């Protein structure tokens, strides 16, 4: 989940609310990081 704050966009976990990254200057940069987090999450499940 991406949230907008005064100093930029932050990426937070939907279930726990834990901060996963930020601040990012643009929403596009935050979306890119969100895709990276999802990729690594799915990679760890396959093993």
Alpha-carbon distance 7 to 31, whole Å?
17
Q: pLDDT tens digit string along 4-28?
A: 999 999 999 989 999 988 999 999 9
**Tell me, what's the pLDDT at 43?**
87
Please name the residue that has the structure tokens 């907008």: 4
Ramachandran angles phi, psi of 21, nearest 5° = 160, 160
Burial of 16 (0-12, 13-18, 19+ CB in 10 A): exposed
Q: Domain of 31?
A: 2-46
**Tell me, what's the pLDDT at 44?**
76
Domain count, the chain: 1
**Tell me, what's the pLDDT at 41?**
86
Q: pLDDT tens digit string along 23-47?
A: 999 999 999 999 999 898 888 776 5
> What are the start-end ranges of the H helices in 1-47?
27-46
């Amino acid at each position: 989940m991406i949230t907008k704050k005064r100093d930029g966009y932050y990426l937070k976990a939907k279930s726990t609310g834990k901060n996963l990254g930020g601040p990012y200057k643009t929403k596009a940069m935050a979306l890119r990081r969100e895709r990276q987090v999802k990729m690594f999450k799915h990679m760890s499940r396959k093993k």
